[in-house]
Structure formats: C-alpha cells, structure tokens
Structure 1
Amino acid sequence: MAHRPLAVITGASSGIGYELAELCAGNGFDLIIAADEAQIQDAAQQLEKHDVQVAWVECDLAQEEGVEELLEAIGDRPVDVLMANAGHGLGHGFLDQDFDDILHVIDTNITGTVLLLHRVGQQMRDRGSGRILITGSIAGFIPGAYQAVYNASKAFLDSFSFALRAELAETGVTVTCLMPGATETEFFARADLLDTEVGQSKKDDPKDVARAGYDAMMKGQGDVVSGWHNKLQTAIANITPAGLLASRHAKTAAPGSGN
C-alpha cells in the first residue's frame, strides 16, 4: 500500500508549529512531530482527527542526541516536507542572562536546526524532490537589544535559508523562509518577556502566520513575511541605521517596558 506524503515538523506542540502540522495533516500528509515538552503527545492526539498517521517525538533539539532521536523516528521513510520551526527566545540583558540558557537558544535555533537540515536535506537532494520551510523571523533584520542572542540566531536562519535555496536551485528541492513578527504563542512567556512592551502588544494569529508559510512553501517561494505591518517593519529596517534599530528595540524589549 502506498504511503501518504510525509511532513516532519519541529516545535509542533503549540503555536506556529502546531498550526503548520494542522495544515499538513488537513492536506493529506502523514506527520512526524517533535518538541521538547510533553505537550507534543497531546498535539499528536488532536492531529489524528485528520485521519492521517501521526507519530510524535519528545526530544531536546538543542542536543545532538535529540536530533538523532527524531531522525531515528523518520527512519528510511522519504521526507516530502521538512518544517524546521523549533526555536527558543530569551529576554533581558545579555550580561544578565544565564550562559546555559544562552547556549540552549543557540543550540536549539541554530545548531540543532542546521544538523536536522543537513541530514534530511541530503536525503531530499539525493531523491531529487522535497520542500523545506525554515521559520526565521523579521527579528533577524533588527539588532535585538534585550533579545540579542535570539535576534542574532534568527539573522543566521534568515541568511542561511537564502544560501541553501541557491545551492539547491537545480535539485528539485525548494527552501522557503517564513519570517513572522510577534505572534500570539507561548514564546513570550517562555522567554520571560511578558513584562515588556512587545510582550504585551497585540500579536499576529499563529494560524494566519502558518497559512502564509505553508502557501509560500507549496508555491516554492523563497521567503514570506507574514502580515502587512511586518512587511512595513522589514522595509523600514532595511534603510534604518543599525544603531537606531537597536535603540528602538531596547525601548520595547527592556524588562518593565510594558508597565
């Protein structure tokens, strides 16, 4: 019996990742979903309503062992869609942050993501087909005072996605970068940003963000910035001096700025 196409989604326990999984399941993809929290099992049970196969992996994608655990779950089955969405934020001043927390952001957002892309991307290239969606951020365009490591990690992913897309241009594998702005997810609570102006501001609906990313990926587009206000913010960032951008970001992300 022929298998349905397979989508692998990281950071899929809630927020944008869960909504991406919903879209894939609703369009007939079997799923392997992963996250670093037990909520991933609940997400899998909810996704089974689409009458597709759903496997879940609770693993820390900041660790090589966690990535290997996910790869083991994939096994030899061809991956048709890889959505590298897992990511962590971290608020407060860089020098006030615990360095283990800093490393976890870097290893989740960059190291683990790049390792997963390297392994699954090789399989896709060898097969001559596949779609990759990387969740970057408009934060990658802005020096993120009081979110310095997070914004820098997203700058890496935004840049990396365009480079990888160019390398795979003639292979049948597409790479799309989804660049959302502030979105209504658990991100701000987990990053300890709830007392900031950005943490208390109106945010985008993760369903809308996921839909923009999914549609762009299926069309083979290189990137998508979700929401007109985020498009405007990105355009302004491209012509604004970096020092001014950092100062403006400080005003919205500094601890207590939401009071």
Structure 2
Amino acid sequence: MSSTERPLAVVTGASTGIGYELAKECCRNGFDLVVAADEPEIETSAADLRSLGATVDVVEADLATIEGVDKLLAAIAGRPVEALLANAGRGLGKGFLDQDFEAVRRVVDTNVTGTIYLIQNVGREMRRRGGGRILITGSIAGFMPGTYQAVYNASKAFLDSFSFALRHELQGTGVTVTCLMPGPTDTDFFERADMLDTKVGTQTKDDPAKVAAQGFAAMMKGEGDVVTGWHNKLQSAIANVLPAGVTAEMHRKMAEPGSGRS
C-alpha cells in the first residue's frame, strides 16, 4: 500500500444504528469503506459517509445468505481489508413457539451463518498478509438466557464465544479480534423485533454513537472485548455469577410482551 492510499474497512449492517456509527468512526479515522446492508437505506447512509471524505462502495445484499455474502466479497475485489466490522444482526421478540420459523431462521442465518462465513473468508486473507483487525458485534444478551428472545440471545452467545475462541486461534498472526458487547441501544432494533410493548423496548437506551466509538477504539487497540456502559458492565457481571434460571426470569420481566405497558 502506498503512503497516499487509505486503508480499507468493511462494515456490515451499516445503514442505521451501531453499524452506521461504526462506519462514521472508520471515515473519521482515515479508512475508505465498503458498506453493506440488506435495505436500500444503505445508499443514503453511504452518501452521508462520503461527506466525511471517504471513498465508499455500497453493497445492498442479503447477508443472511451465502450468495449475499459472496456479493459483498466480490465488491471487495481482492483489496486488502485492514478492518472488518461484522455488525449485521437481526432480533426477534415474543415466545419461541409463537414465532414464524422463517423469521427464526433469518435471525440465525444473519447473526451466525452469514457472519462467520464472511469472517472466515476475510480472516484467511488477513492471516495470509499477517495483519488486520476484526470487530464482531456480540451483546451482553449472550450472557443470559433470553426469555422471549430465546433465539436472539442464543445467537449472540454464539458470537461472544466465537470471538474469544477466534482471537486465541489467531494469536501471533498479526490479526486481532475484538468483541463489542453493547446492551440495549437506541436504534430501530426493538421496532424491527416487534418489542416496542416490552419493558426493555420502552426504557432509556444507550447512544449508538457512543457505543460505536468505544467499540472502534477497542478494535484499534487490539483489545479482546468491550462491554459498553457501566450499567451493562454491572449486568454482565451479575449474569456471570447468578444461576441461569435466575437470569432467565430477570430477562422475562424485561422482554415479556406487554411488560412495557403502564
């Protein structure tokens, strides 16, 4: 790479929320971008990102599918990826037996299958080059059984665990892996997950810009993980010592449909 070239970052789920804010952090810190999401709003977000001085390539693709991830990989076009911010994710509320299975599968395929397929492909090239940074957006939800969010929390538990394991597999290669573990954040997640009538859906949430800034800083330092916000740090610490049955009941009180009604 010449001194005039900017490093390339790839950000998924970059149309809104934490992903959009992570992309802004990349722009402000000298990266050019490939951004991806499964909705046309990614074009509007990309235009805003270009105003920060970055070259931004856009991929609208369904990252729950292998074909969608392959479309993103094709857009990278063999360029060295200095930072992969694997943020695309999907939530789903209400009881598991009441959920449509296609919606369930989409959560698993977006949060898990598409994410690890992308990471494997980009990560192999990083390892071959001997350098790169990977940020995976997990969640403190992965620390506890997700009553009325059973599949979502389980998918985030997978990502939290996966990120720690991959980090240690890559020790000594020059490639770092950081897990960003936010709590409830002020995005459209709860509307999309049909959880606006829950206690967690109505409570005050964290600022996605602050969450992204902390995650980006941790990635650049090569840190293994970051839990954003003191209240989330406290909640994750409590979840690590309480029995799973207790935390499952705590989660029920937060995510049960109708729990947010006064």
Q: Do they superpose with TM above 0.5?
A: yes
Question: Equivalent residue of 1:134, what SS?
Answer: strand
Match of 2:157 in 1: 155
Q: Structure 1 residue 165 and structure 2 residue 179: aligned?
A: no
**1:160 offset after TM fit, Å?**
0.2
Give, in angstroms, the shift of residue 211 of structure 1.
0.6
Determine if the alignment matches structure 1 residue 256 to structure 2 residue 246: no
1:118 equivalent in alignment to 2:120: yes
Shift of 1:187: 0.4
Q: Give, as a single letter, the amino acid of the residue that structure 2 aligns with 1:120.
A: V
* Aligned mates of 1:116, 1:59 — CA distance in 2: 13
Give the match for residue 204 of structure 2.
202
SS in 2 for 1:88: coil
Q: Within 5 A, what are the aligned runs for 1:1-259?
A: 2-259=4-261
Q: Distance in 1 between matches of 2:233 and 2:54?
A: 35
| Runs of 4+ deviating beyond 3 Å | none
- The runs of 5 or more residues in structure 1 that have no matched partner are none
Q: How many residues align?
A: 259
Instruction: Give 1:79 shift.
Output: 0.2
In structure 2, runs of 5+ residues without a counterpart are: none
CA deviations on 1:126-161 (whole Å, 9 max, x unpaired) are: 000000000000000010000000000000000000
Amino acid of the structure 1 residue aligned with 2:207 = D
Q: Percent identity?
A: 66
The one-letter amino acid of 1:249's match is H
CA distance in 2, matches of 1:228, 1:251: 21
Structure 2 SS opposite 1:224: strand
Which secondary structure does the structure 1 equivalent of 2:81 belong to?
coil
CA distance in 1, matches of 2:26, 2:191: 27
Where 2:195 maps in the other structure, the secondary structure is coil
Counterpart-to-counterpart distance in 2, 1:18 and 1:7: 13
The CA deviation at 1:51 is 1.6
Q: Which amino acid aligns with 2:29?
A: N
Q: 2: distance between equivalents of 1:178 and 1:29?
A: 19
> For the aligned residues, what is the CA RMSD?
0.7
